[in-house]
Chains A and B, each alone.
Chain A
Amino acid sequence: MSWILILEQSLNGLQFGLMLFLLAAGLTLVFGIMDMINLAHGSLYMLGAFLAAMFVQLTNSFLAGVLLAIPATALLGMVLEVSILRTLYGRDHLSQVLATFALILIINELVRLAWGSDAALPMPAALSGPIELLPGLRYPAYRLVIIAVGLAVALLLYFLVAKTRVGMLVRAGASNREMALAMGVDINTLFTFVFGIGAALCALAGSMLAPLFAVQVGMGENILILAFVVIVIGGIGSIRGALVGAVLVGVVDTIGRAFLPILLGAFFQPRVASAAGPALASVMIYLIMAVVLYFRPQGLFPARG
């Protein structure tokens, strides 16, 4: 196992982690401000990918398709928030889990009715080739673009949350909702806005990842659980925690899948290693989450003091 391979897998991990961050950022704010479990967040990710596939086909341009899908998903997200999710804030977690679970079923079937079970979103031709980063390290250009977009959005979000007035209100809401309310912050409007941003980030992640993974009904469910793992590791309500958690999960998952079987092979018989390697790699991030929860139940970067 050469260092080039390690570097390449680390970049893959970073790329996946940054996309996870886009999902987790919206989710952690919804969770943090409203103390609301939204399982339907993954459905917005799926909606974003399907909308992007449709718009790309209509406009014949990848960029235009993605740029159209983002506001469209944000709008759908805000409609969802105002019409249904808003009534769930005061309810217990059980109601929230079940109502948003019902939304998953409903949105899945509506997407299937509108577009069928899957859609194609091909990679833009200009970005499909590799780029030579270092002598001997050729890396797909499209993945580099994803990394760049992910980093740019992370910076933008940091600026938005840490330096603007809206961001200040969001932070106030996340650290103490009642106090923010008492100080006259219009939490409802603020939250619809935050939800729209979260949906937009979902659409961005969904459409950027679509050429690498498949666009299909149910794509949101598995990645949603990963996003939950991320925000629980990072600390609910914390953007910084979401970023650290997402990159950690992305890198550990990718590197683990690539190298754990080889690593185990050095210590055990090949038969044992090839059986245990993938199993261990796939449960690794859940183990990290369990360990973090056990020792630091509030996550690595808790938003509430």
Chain B
Amino acid sequence: MSHVPPEVLTLRAFDEPVSADVRAHLAGCEVCGAEVATLRRTVAVARESWSEAPPPAPPAALWDRIVAGLSDDDAAALGPITSDPGPRELPAPDADADRGTPSGGASHDAAGSAHRAEGSVVELRPHQRRAWWAAAAAVAAFAIGGVATIAVQQPGSTVLASTELEALADVEPGQARLVETPEGLAIEVDVTGLPEVDGFYELWLLDTEVTSLVSLGPLEGAGPHLLPAGLDPAELPVVDISLEPFDGDPNHSGDSLLRGVLDELDGADRA
């Protein structure tokens, strides 16, 4: 028979039963046999790794020492030295209690620690000052097929940043994502249960000082709501949804219902 499909090799690495044909092939084929052996080693390491606590955030002072070792040009390009945002607290140990995780003995404990690990990684998530990801996104546009871990929201769209939209009024919180689509950068929004109103909902990008803003137009479901070409979302990282009356005034009504700051775009301001 021809080589064993990857999914069957994976099942074999988990010691699931496979057909006699597959077993015979694996016994005789170096390529497939080596693949299963590697996957088994991966399974073994992963079982050990599950309970690893996430490492603490790297100290800002150490980064400053690294910068001191860079060339003058590189160091200058990085601008002034950052201040240490300090450690943040881990989420409560029972933070995963309501996630519908099937429970059971030691494995549940393992899962619990992994959830905690995840939480802290998110909270210590790095924030960069400049949009290096714009260059990276251009690379990703053609590399996407090969990089399995890039989150793909829709065919052809790559998530560059995301945020929880906090409810500023009596509405359900939501989420927003900055995505790279074939047509350009866009915002996708997940909000549910916005009440029917006498007026309409409008999507905006603001700067963190809330002094400048750009309208992305009326909220049309999830979107994508395209950004005007050339707009740098790092300058306007705040996603805002407002309630606008039908008054013919194109300005923001001042009535913001939901707001969130795109992660990875606003580090300098929140640190």
Determine if chain A interacts with chain B: no
